[in-house]
């Protein structure tokens, strides 16, 4: 399956493209760059998060709502990243011992289908 993703590195670099081989238990996956078609090896340990998106452009004028309750996506969680960003969503499996975890947005109208959060890029994670 071809996934549209936006890769956020821990140092602030952002890359957009597609992948067919992202697995949370692998150290590396391949990204086909949206702009030029180049294939890049992406190392999970260098990342902040991988966003699985509906559209690369999104809707900049849209404000996501964190007060939406969704059933079947796990427990509600608040993620504080090392760079100050905060995300709220749902996860079915968070453990500090794992490399990362998936987060589904609170807002079903979000441009993000889900995100893979790299645990090392977080400052604090708590259930809400």
Round the average pLDDT of the chain to a whole number and report it.
95
The torsion of the CA quartet 85, 13, 115, 4, rounded to 10 degrees, works out to 150
Tell how far CA 111 is from the center of its chain: 11
- Domain ranges in the chain? 3-127
Tens of pLDDT along 62-99? 999 999 999 999 999 999 999 999 999 999 989 999 99
Tens of pLDDT along 96-114? 999 999 999 999 999 999 9
- Check: pTM over 0.85? Answer yes or no: yes
Q: Which pLDDT does position 126 carry in this prediction?
A: 96
């Amino acid at each position: 399956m071809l996934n549209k993703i936006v890769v956020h590195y821990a140092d602030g670099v952002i890359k957009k493209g597609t992948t067919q081989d992202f697995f949370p238990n692998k150290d590396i996956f391949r990204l086909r760059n949206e702009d030029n078609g180049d294939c890049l090896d992406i190392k999970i340990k260098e990342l902040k998060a991988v966003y699985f998106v509906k559209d690369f452009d999104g809707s900049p004028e849209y404000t996501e709502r964190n007060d939406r309750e969704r059933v079947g996506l796990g427990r509600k969680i608040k993620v504080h990243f090392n760079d100050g960003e905060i995300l709220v969503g749902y996860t079915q499996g968070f453990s500090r011992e794992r490399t990362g975890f998936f987060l589904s947005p609170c807002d079903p109208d979000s441009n993000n289908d889900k995100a893979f959060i790299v645990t090392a890029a977080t400052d604090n994670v708590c259930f809400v």
